[in-house]
Structure 1
């Protein structure tokens, strides 16, 4: 199977070049149909004699179905990898701003949305650990706005609410900073 990468070259596989080969292009039906039409001859050539004997129209329908499914699998795989990379750098300290802005730009160009607020998409998150009333995002969720599908589910941690006048946000442990009483 061929997987599209930045620059438009497939990374592996003997299949036809992906219709998603340029992530910088907006997804347009005309472009997708043209690219799929270009991929159909290769899909027809890969069918065995039994499939070809079933008739030309059935072979074309099968080739189109196979090409469309392959393109959506390719997009889903590529989007999943981009989201996994972004999720790894999202919560890390010391990541250069240029990396963060580049990741934001790639997500936007691919029609992927990072969801960091469970209120905005509770169905995109699972609670993986902890006890308490406050939810903390461990990993953001990612939504493919082109297909409407969840690409990568988010993870939440429960923690106790901070006592009045205290901030128990991650990294704000006063005792860990060695402050004198």
Structure 2
């Protein structure tokens, strides 16, 4: 058999493989991060939900889920479908009503803060008024309400209010406890220890 010189041999070229397609999900996330990085830091953030909230839509989903859960209950312990639907409808409507009231108050506070020639004092009064309309009372002093405050720092026999306390008048619950600082002597903005003996980290 006659040998063919190496220089004259035909070489087979390997078929080029098509470059595998990248992960579309990863590519999409990278594009979103890149787009977010291009947005200036002082630009307002915009919330764009994939689906708008609506009472009928939520009620339908909750009812479907409740039906699946009730199917696992014994027949004698299973509530009627009408009772479940009525309870869910009331809960959904109350949730939407609460959200609407909250959003309305936030809008009022934003308008108040952006009003021209607005002083810090008038802004604070406006916010306090909005809180009172929602049933939230602000206690600026531990006088007669020492249980609403805690001592967080300092030593001495008098107290300085670092933060007021907030109480939900509709439920009587403490929303946020007030904070006090102990001071060694009487001065402006402090309260006498005779109004109640305080222990560090506990109610006054």
Shorter-chain TM band: 0.3 to 0.5
TM-score, scaled relative to structure 2? 0.43
TM-score, scaled relative to structure 1? 0.48
